[in-house]
Amino acid sequence: MTGKPPTLGRAVDRGLAPFRGRRAASLLPRTRLGGPVPWVIAIMVALCVLAAGGALALSNLAASARGDLAGSATVQIIEADNDLRAEQARRIAGLLREDPAVTGLRMVPESEVAALLEPWLGSGEAVDAVPLPALIDLELAAEVDEDALAELETRIAAYAPSARIDSQETWLAPVLDALRTLQFMALSLIGLLAFAGVAAVWLAARNALGGNRDTIEIVHLLGGSDAQIASVFQRSILLDAIAGGLLGLVLGAGAIALLANRFAALDSGMVAAGSLSAIDWVILAMVPLFAVVIAVYTARMTVLASLRKML
């Protein structure tokens, strides 16, 4: 009999064929599934952590935007004559203060409007040459819907035919849709990476089984069960998965911290709303654990299925 491990050769030569259970399974070499498997798992975990961090940040950003703009609207009065525009704004503000649908309002100063338009119109004479609209920020009652806004717009049209009400949630809807699309793409990427990791473990387990086929057959003859043989490979992939998962977590967390630092330099309130909370970091720390569980389960199922076909 060629190709036997030394321990197995001595056992057979001494006539110890009645070995059973763990003693028989212990004759199987403790070779690691090894090679690139820990590195593949590390890469998969790092990318999953990065994608999950992005999805969580986008979720926080969308939730913050909804909370900040919920129940908000802006009345815009467009009129070329400055005096007439100011008079219309005062009359509309008086009407809105008496409306039960409006819980608060603020007339936006013209200097603020000019500052908002400065990136497009510039400053100085360029702004003076353009009639700026009058803006009134509204805080609406919780029960106000689109129909109530349309009715309110009809009422203020009697004072200023050019006036209109813009719900901030309405113009924010395309932005929220884009954020949801990005979240879906991040979750899809996590699914693809998990599938790729399963495929890598499956291939590694199949290769390890093929390299030890003769030894496995003899271990079976000595009384080793499929479950005991599978546990040998299971322990091997467990070590690989733990090492790769921890390395991937460090790489992914480092990449997230670097991106967070770059975005923080923008000094934008909207970007700051997408920062990760302590709970988000706990969720990200769970990614390697899921990777280890999936890898070990895949290795075990692969080995058991292959043994049933092999023997």
Confidence check: pLDDT of 248 > 90 = yes
What is the arithmetic mean of pLDDT over 141-164? 78
Segment 226-235, tens digit of pLDDT: 777 777 777 7
169 or 284, which is more confident: 284
Query: What pLDDT shows up at residue 185?
Result: 92
Average confidence score pLDDT of the chain = 77
Among 46, 182, 76, 70, which residue's Cα sits nearest to residue 137? 76
Q: How many residues does the chain have?
A: 311
Confidence check: pLDDT of 202 > 80 = yes
Cα 203 to the chain's mean position, in Å?
28
What is the arithmetic mean of pLDDT over 113-131? 67
Helix (H, G, I), strand (E, B) or coil at 11: helix
Query: What pLDDT shows up at residue 266?
Result: 66
Among 132, 139, 141, 133, which residue's Cα sits nearest to residue 168? 139
What is the arithmetic mean of pLDDT over 157-181? 80
Beta bridge partners of 90: none
198 or 99, which is more confident: 198
Rounded Cα–Cα distance for residues 256 and 275 (Å): 10
Query: What pLDDT shows up at residue 273?
Result: 62
Confidence check: pLDDT of 69 > 90 = no
What number of other Cβ atoms are within 10 A of residue 291's Cβ? 26
> CA angle 289-295-296, nearest 5°?
90
What is the arithmetic mean of pLDDT over 94-108? 83
The pTM is what? 0.69
* 269 burial type by CB count under 10 A (0-12 exposed, 13-18 middle, 19+ buried): exposed
